[in-house]
Amino acid sequence: MDTLILYIAAIALFALSAIRDRERTKKAFLKGLKALEGILPQLLAVLVFVAVILAVFDAEMISRFIGEKSGMIGTIAAGLIGAITLIPGFVAFPAAGELLRNGAGTLQIATFVSSLMMVGIITLPVEIKYFGKRAAIARNAFAFIFSFIAAVFVAWVVAL
């Protein structure tokens, strides 16, 4: 139901924008399509990746590796995978939801998502170039540690 409301609001606001300034709306729409074109390959790759994982690994196997009972090893593994993965947030959150529905643990998925958003192993060379080696490594190390703290907090809130 929420999705329907958002679609209706988007269509109504788009129509209002077109009424106010047709040319600017057309420019914005084309710019949005161009941005979508740039994001689409990443989005499709991640969606295919998650679909393959869910097809190959059943809920029991996902539970064993990153489920509630996987404990600290599953949590650390999820944090490491998140730290080295480069996925935009708008793809990561639906993927995380799907993994949760298929047996992954809340703490593990919260760790994965928080390290994914805060740690950038793949982007580390760029950070080193602009901020220096010491600052870039320190930022990533602190972000990695904080991703576990944030995940514990999220898991605690969800458990309430």
**Within-domain flag for 141:** yes
Return the pLDDT at 107: 93
Q: What pLDDT sits at residue 56?
A: 77
Shared domain for 35 and 65, answered yes or no, is no
Rounded distance, CA 23 to CA 116, Å?
Answer: 39
Whether residues 63 and 21 fall in one domain: no
DSSP states of 4-40:
HHHHHHHHHHHHHHHHH-HHHHHHHHHHHHHHHHHHH
**Alpha-carbon distances of 2 from 9, 13, 71, 123, rounded to whole Å:** 11, 16, 34, 35
**Are 1 and 73 in a shared domain?**
no
List the end-to-end C-alpha distance of the chain, in Å, as a whole number.
25
Whether residue 130 sits in one domain with residue 61? yes
Domain range holding 16?
A: 1-40
| Domain assignment present for 51 | no
Q: In the chain, which stretches have pLDDT less than 70? A: 54, 59
Alpha carbons 9 and 27: distance in angstroms, whole number: 20
Same structural domain for residues 86 and 30?
no
**What pLDDT does 40 receive?**
82
- Segment 68-106, tens digit of pLDDT: 888 899 999 999 988 988 777 877 888 888 888 888 899
45 found inside a domain: no
Mean pLDDT computed over every residue of the chain: 88
Residue 2's pLDDT is 79
Does residue 102 fall inside a structural domain?
A: yes
Contacts of range 156-159, beta carbons closer than 8 Å, 24 or more positions apart? 158/106, 158/110, 159/106
Model's pTM, two decimal places? 0.68
In a domain, 92, yes or no: yes
Q: Is residue 73 part of a domain?
A: yes
Pick from 54, 51, 84: nearest CA to 66? 54
3-state helix, strand, coil in the chain (%, to 5): 90, 0, 10
pLDDT, position 151: 93
Q: Is residue 61 part of a domain?
A: yes
**Do the Cβ atoms of 67 and 108 come closer than 8 Å?**
yes
In a domain, 79, yes or no: yes
Q: What pLDDT is attached to residue 148?
A: 96
Q: In terms of domains, do 77 and 120 share one?
A: yes
The residue behind tokens 């458990």 is 159
How many folded domains does the chain comprise? Answer: 2
Both tokens assigned to 131: 């901020």
Alpha-carbon 156 to chain mean position: 20
Whether 31 and 61 map to the same domain: the answer is no
What pLDDT is stored for residue 93 in this prediction? 87
Q: Are residues 63 and 117 in the same domain?
A: yes
